[in-house]
């Protein structure tokens, strides 16, 4: 009996620093029933202990200590009112911390170069929500709903469990053998084929019990192609250095990548509007969707070209699309004019007329002739250069405008062949879309005055015109290196290093938590 009492005192002492300044009375306790921790308290502890299932760390919420304290308070001598109040306050604070992290993320997106507009959620609302949920005895159900509120959250959690289960799998206990040459093609032999087959089977790209051939052939080639497709590689069935590198990434590292994507989902505003256009930068894909009955229905998907990873990265933000420009002018940004256009014009004066370019003075006068003074005026910022509508216009024949501080927009391109490239970080920051007519139809679907025929006619007119949207549409530039498609897990390269940035921010966040 003394042993139980000593343990109870010890554990309550461990959580005392998290208690409120004024101990609560037993009448206001949230987690106790008849002087014992309630069923909701038991469930709260189980939820905190399972925080790793959502890519979070149970230790950040004192899950083990609280679990032991609740167990002792349930089975040992009853705690006195002060001890109950301290334990109750500690469990409340841990749950509030956990729920805030689960619903809004642990890191402010602004710390990791994501300028998203997040809805405000005062702590008082979270406190009220928790109190109501506990008193109505529906904690487990409502927390599960909260955990899965972000799109892809549930399948990402499943993927996280899947890859964590592979951490000690025999397929990754030794590295794949070096390639016999620069690459392994169909019909060639390779000492690493048995281990390769074992990994592909564990990942679900190769059916279990498939016989391992002596050479790269048959089902093994198909499995390799499926693996390549899921990892942002050219699915050619050839085992080259890039594919080998992806095959050698351990499941533990993949699990960390999935956990980062779960964190990012919590503060990426994917449900803030009934209709949205979302660009996932690492995937080079745009999706247009509608939210109906809380579910996302993708209406449109297409390839995009984004900013160069080296020096002109596309920023991450959300804004309202308000205009469509048909047959647009391209007002060449000053930085591009200074670094590229002006030097090109000095070297080749005929470039101005050939590309359909002209100067615009400070008063708005259009000048179509080239002179050294004109170029000097551009460099000083007094004049600007623009490209007239036409087949060579860099924006193509349509531009989707969502005013923002970075002057980023969606547009077509006179070089559609670039969409056939696997890596498409090629622009100065703006986003080129593969199928602008389909996107315009989605944006204007509720406007009977703009059928497809009129859209195409305005795009081909060669005369610039601007349409103000009756209903603005949210555009979100997002970043996720893990995507679940048709139940399959796809991984993409960390194009801009944002995963590394987020991982560092999470480590700093963990280090700043109270011990």
With helix as H, strand as E and coil as C, how does 99-150 read? HHHHHHCCCCHHHHCEECCCCCCCHHHHHHHHHHHHHCCCHHHHHHHHHCCC
The reported pLDDT for the residue numbered 123 is: 52
What token pair was written down for 20?
């409120």
Q: Quote the pLDDT of residue 369.
A: 92
Tokens 């006068």 sit on residue: 365
Asked if residue 10 has pLDDT above 60, the reply is no
**Both tokens of residue 185?**
């093609």
pLDDT reading at 125 higher than 80: no
Phi, psi of 500 (to 5 degrees): -60, -40
| Higher-scoring residue by pLDDT: 6, 271 | 271
pLDDT of 407 = 92
Would you state the pLDDT for residue 514?
82
* pLDDT (average), residues 462-476: 95
Q: What is the mean pLDDT of residues 154-182?
A: 95
Q: Which residue has the higher pLDDT, 273 or 458?
A: 458
Q: Give residue 128's pLDDT.
A: 86
Q: What percent of the chain has pLDDT over 90?
A: 83
Burial (CB count within 10 angstroms: exposed 0-12, middle 13-18, buried 19+), residue 279: buried
34 φ/ψ sector (left φ>0, alpha ψ -120 to 50, else beta): left
| pLDDT for the residue numbered 146 | 87
For residues 232 and 246, what is the distance between their CA atoms, to the nearest angstrom? 10
Judged against a pLDDT cut of 60, whether residue 211 lies above it is answered with yes
For the entire predicted model, the pTM comes to 0.89
Residue 344: pLDDT over 90? yes
Give the Cα-Cα-Cα angle 357, 362, 365 (nearest 5 degrees). 55
CA distance linking residue 393 with residue 329, whole number of Å: 8
Q: Rounded to an integer, what is the distance from CA 238 to the centroid of its chain? A: 30
Q: What is the mean pLDDT of residues 46-72?
A: 96
Q: Are strands 316-326 and 465-478 parallel, antiparallel or unpaired?
A: antiparallel
pLDDT at res. 271: 75
d(CA 16, CA 87): 7
24, pLDDT greater than 70: no
Average of per-residue pLDDT across 303-312: 95
Backbone phi, psi, residue 168, to 5°: -105, 20
If you average pLDDT over residues 30-53, what whole number do you get? 95
Report helix, strand and coil shares of the chain as percent, to nearest 5. Answer: 45, 20, 35
The predicted pLDDT at position 27 comes to 52
**CA nearest to 496, candidates 198, 275, 264, 334:** 264
Residue 449 backbone dihedrals phi, psi, to 5 degrees: -80, -5
pLDDT score of 98: 96
Residue 289 has pLDDT above 80, yes or no: yes
Band of residue 117 on the pLDDT scale cut at 50, 70, 90: confident
- In this predicted structure, what is the pLDDT of residue 120? 55
Residue 23 pLDDT level (bands cut at 50, 70, 90): very low
Q: Is the pLDDT of residue 249 over 60?
A: yes
Contact 306, 281 (CB under 8 A): yes
68-79 pLDDT, tens digit per residue, is 999 999 998 889
Residue range 347-376: average pLDDT?
93
Torsion of CA 389, 395, 399, 400, to 10 degrees: -170
**Residue 119 confidence class, pLDDT cut points 50, 70, 90:** low
- 1 pLDDT above the threshold of 60: no
CATH of domain 270-491: 2.40.440.10
Most confident range (mean pLDDT) of 149-158, 271-280, 475-484 is 475-484
In this prediction, residue 6 has a pLDDT band, given cuts at 50, 70 and 90, of very low
Assess whether pLDDT exceeds 50 at residue 3: no
Domain ranges of the chain: 2-154, 170-249, 270-491
CA torsion sign for 294, 299, 303, 306 is negative
Say if residue 272's pLDDT is above 80: no
Q: Domain 170-249 belongs to what topology?
A: Muramoyl-pentapeptide Carboxypeptidase; domain 1 (1.10.101)
Burial code of 83-122, b = ≥16 C-beta within 10 A, e = fewer? bbbbbbbbbbbbbbbbbebbbbbbbebeebbbebebeeee
Residue percentage of the chain with pLDDT more than 70: 93
If one compares 465 and 27, the residue with the highest pLDDT of the two is: 465
On average, the pLDDT of the chain sits at: 91
């Amino acid at each position: 009996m003394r042993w139980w009492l000593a343990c109870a005192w010890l554990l309550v002492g461990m959580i005392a620093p998290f208690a409120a300044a004024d101990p609560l009375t037993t009448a206001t306790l949230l987690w106790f029933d008849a002087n014992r921790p309630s069923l909701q308290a038991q469930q709260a502890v189980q939820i905190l202990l399972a925080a790793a299932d959502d890519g979070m760390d149970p230790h950040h919420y004192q899950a083990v200590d609280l679990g032991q304290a609740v167990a002792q308070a349930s089975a040992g001598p009853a705690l006195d009112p002060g001890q109950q109040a301290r334990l109750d306050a500690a469990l409340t604070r841990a749950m509030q911390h956990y729920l805030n992290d689960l619903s809004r993320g642990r890191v402010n997106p602004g710390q990791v170069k994501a300028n998203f507009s997040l809805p405000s959620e005062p702590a008082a609302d979270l406190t009220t929500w928790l109190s109501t949920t506990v008193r109505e005895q529906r904690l487990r159900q409502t927390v599960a709903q909260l955990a899965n509120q972000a799109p892809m959250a549930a399948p990402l959690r499943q993927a996280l469990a899947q890859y964590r289960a592979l951490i000690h799998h025999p397929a990754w206990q030794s590295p794949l053998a070096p390639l016999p040459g620069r690459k392994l093609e169909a019909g060639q032999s390779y000492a690493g084929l048995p281990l390769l087959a074992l990994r592909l089977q564990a990942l679900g790209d190769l059916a279990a019990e498939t016989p391992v051939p002596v050479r790269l052939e048959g089902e093994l080639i198909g499995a390799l192609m499926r693996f390549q497709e899921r990892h942002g590689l050219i699915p050619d069935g050839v085992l080259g250095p890039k594919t080998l590198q992806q095959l050698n990434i351990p499941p533990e590292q993949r699990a960390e990548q999935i956990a980062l994507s779960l964190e990012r989902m919590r503060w990426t505003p994917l449900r803030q509007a009934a209709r949205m256009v979302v660009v996932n930068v690492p995937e080079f894909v745009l999706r247009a969707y509608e939210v109906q009955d809380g579910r996302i229905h993708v209406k449109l998907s297409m390839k995009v070209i984004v900013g160069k990873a080296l020096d002109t990265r596309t920023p991450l933000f959300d804004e309202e699309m308000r205009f469509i420009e048909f047959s647009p002018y391209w007002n060449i940004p000053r930085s591009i004019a200074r670094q590229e256009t002006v030097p090109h014009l000095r070297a080749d004066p005929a470039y101005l007329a050939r590309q359909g370019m002209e100067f615009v003075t400070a008063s708005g006068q259009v000048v179509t002739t080239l002179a050294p003074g004109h170029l000097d005026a551009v460099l000083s910022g007094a004049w600007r250069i623009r490209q007239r509508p036409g087949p060579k216009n860099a924006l193509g024949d349509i531009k989707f405008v969502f005013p923002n501080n970075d002057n980023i927009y969606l547009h077509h391109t006179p070089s559609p062949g670039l969409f056939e490239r696997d890596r498409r970080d090629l622009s100065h920051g703006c986003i080129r879309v593969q199928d602008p007519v389909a996107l315009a139809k989605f944006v204007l679907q509720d406007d009977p005055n703009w059928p497809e025929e009129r859209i195409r006619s305005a795009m081909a007119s060669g005369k610039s015109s601007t349409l103000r949207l009756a209903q603005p549409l949210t555009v979100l530039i997002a970043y996720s290196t893990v995507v679940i498609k048709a139940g399959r897990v796809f991984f993409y390269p960390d194009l801009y290093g944002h995963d590394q940035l987020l991982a560092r921010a999470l480590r700093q966040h963990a280090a700043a938590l109270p011990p």
